[in-house]
């Protein structure tokens, strides 16, 4: 009888130990559109807890990444259904001094998601704009939160009060690019691009184009998804280091994580991290220290000209799917080479000596 009792007790101890061990943690595969905040909500834990148990230095995560979920910190009640979380959209009203990258960092989301959720094509924002800072539900993904108009605009006598863009607009007294763009539902940067404006100054009687001209077709060589040529740096590490910096603020002349990056500072930082020892040069400096490639591959450089100054003035790194990663005015971001602005200023693909 004693032996039977001891056996049952031992079995119970082993079973309880196994159950406790299996309840300590689980894993979760990151889905497209996920953020640490959304995952934490689904599993009833906190963003800080997720970062701690997964040794994350930032809130940036990637699709298919495996995260540990500490189940012991979660209540025993069933997790919130994903549909419920998606429908709870949080918004943020822009204040003076804000930037998109600053807003994204404050809400622990990526700059790319913030722009995608709000259907933004530019990083230019204004005080009073209202943006979604959590992923909208599928029923609202086609709707962009309307920027809040300033009181001074309420009495505008412009005949451009309709939000449907027309082909042209004639400037009237009291107009500004911001007022015209707001009334016509287009951005200031687009107005300047479509009308070849180098400043925000406009004149009474001036006719502005309100539609994007059909882009001239530019044939570009196909980018190899998988590197086929040997290089003297680690391409995988190069892309990983570059992705870690997504959303990092832009700073002219910047070349460090603590201050921010400009385009050439970004190149210097990630290539050195990947094992390529290079000096800190300007965009045209890197242009002169590289050679053209007929079959560009992931990790190669892409150069642009005549952006904010004449000549070679910007560069980034090819990441596949006809996209490149670079430090632009809105911070470190991934952009398509089919983007009308960058296609217009595209110069060529090169590789560092």
pLDDT in tens, 201-248: 888 888 888 875 544 443 444 444 566 678 999 999 999 999 999 999
Look at residue 227 in the predicted model and tell me its pLDDT.
66
How far apart, in whole angstroms, are the C-alpha atoms of residue 343 and residue 138?
31
Using a 10 angstrom Cβ sphere, with 0-12 exposed, 13-18 middle and 19 or more buried, the burial of residue 167 is exposed
Look at residue 175 in the predicted model and tell me its pLDDT.
85
Look at residue 216 in the predicted model and tell me its pLDDT.
42
How far apart, in whole angstroms, are the C-alpha atoms of residue 254 and residue 68?
35
Look at residue 81 in the predicted model and tell me its pLDDT.
47
Q: Which residues form the catalytic set?
A: 263, 314, 326
How far apart, in whole angstroms, are the C-alpha atoms of residue 257 and residue 277?
18
What would the two tokens of residue 46 be? 């906190």
**Residue 25 β-bridge partners:** 70
For residue 236, CA distances in Å to 205, 231, 242, 275, 298 come to 55, 12, 10, 11, 9
Q: Where are any strands of DSSP class E within the chain?
A: 25-29, 66-70, 91-93, 130-132, 168-170, 207-209, 255-256, 260-261, 290-292, 301-305, 312-320, 323-328, 331-336, 346-352
Look at residue 226 in the predicted model and tell me its pLDDT.
61
Look at residue 53 in the predicted model and tell me its pLDDT.
86
All residue ranges of the chain with pLDDT < 50 are 1-24, 73-87, 139-166, 214-224
Look at residue 80 in the predicted model and tell me its pLDDT.
43
Look at residue 349 in the predicted model and tell me its pLDDT.
94
Which residue, among 351, 48, 330, 69, has the nearest Cα to 227 in the 3D structure? 351
* DSSP secondary structure code for residue 258 in this structure: T
Domain ranges in the chain?
Answer: 21-84, 89-140, 166-209, 235-352
Look at residue 17 in the predicted model and tell me its pLDDT.
42
Q: Radius of gyration of the chain from Cα atoms?
A: 26
Fold classification of 21-84 (topology level): Membrane-bound Lytic Murein Transglycosylase D; Chain A (3.10.350)
Write the class of the CATH domain 89-140: alpha beta
Please give the model's pTM, rounded to 2 decimal places: 0.41
Look at residue 300 in the predicted model and tell me its pLDDT.
95
Tell me whether domains 89-140 and 235-352 share a fold: no
The percent of residues above 70 in pLDDT, for the chain, comes to: 74
The CATH number that domain 235-352 falls under is 3.90.1720.10
The CATH number that domain 166-209 falls under is 3.10.350.10
Look at residue 204 in the predicted model and tell me its pLDDT.
86
Phi and psi at residue 51, to the nearest 5°: -65, -35
How far apart, in whole angstroms, are the C-alpha atoms of residue 162 and residue 337?
32
């Amino acid at each position: 009888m004693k032996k039977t009792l001891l056996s049952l007790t031992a079995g119970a101890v082993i079973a309880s130990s196994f159950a406790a061990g299996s309840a300590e943690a689980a894993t979760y595969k990151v889905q497209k559109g996920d953020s640490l905040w959304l995952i934490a909500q689904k599993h009833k834990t906190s963003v800080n807890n997720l970062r701690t148990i997964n040794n994350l230095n930032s809130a940036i995560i990637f699709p298919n990444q495996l995260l540990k979920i500490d189940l012991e910190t979660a209540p025993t009640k069933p997790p919130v259904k994903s549909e419920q979380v998606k429908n709870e959209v949080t918004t943020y009203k822009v204040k003076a001094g804000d930037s998109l990258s600053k807003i994204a960092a404050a809400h622990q989301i990526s700059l790319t998601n913030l722009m995608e959720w709000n259907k933004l094509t530019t990083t230019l924002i204004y005080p009073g704009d209202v943006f979604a800072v959590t992923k909208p539900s599928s029923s609202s993904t086609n709707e962009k939160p309307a920027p809040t108009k300033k009181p001074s605009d309420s009495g505008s006598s412009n005949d451009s009060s309709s939000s449907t863009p027309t082909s042209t607009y004639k400037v009237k007294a009291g107009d500004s690019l911001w007022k015209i763009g707001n009334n016509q539902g287009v951005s200031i940067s687009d107005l300047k691009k479509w009308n070849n404006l180098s400043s925000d100054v406009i004149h009474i009687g001036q006719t502005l184009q309100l539609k994007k001209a059909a882009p001239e077709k530019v044939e570009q060589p196909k980018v190899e998804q998988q590197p086929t040529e040997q290089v003297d740096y680690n391409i995988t590490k190069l892309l990983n280091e570059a992705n870690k910096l997504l959303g990092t603020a832009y700073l002219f002349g910047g070349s460090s994580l603590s201050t921010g990056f400009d385009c050439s500072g970004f190149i210097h930082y990630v290539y050195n991290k990947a094992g390529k020892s290079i000096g800190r040069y300007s965009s045209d400096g890197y242009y002169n220290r590289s050679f053209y490639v007929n079959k560009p591959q992931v990790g190669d450089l892409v150069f642009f000209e005549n952006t904010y100054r004449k000549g070679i003035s910007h560069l980034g790194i090819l990441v596949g799917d006809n996209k490149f990663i670079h430090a632009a005015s809105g911070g470190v971001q991934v952009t398509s080479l089919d983007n009308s602005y960058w296609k217009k200023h595209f110069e060529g693909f090169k590789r560092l000596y």
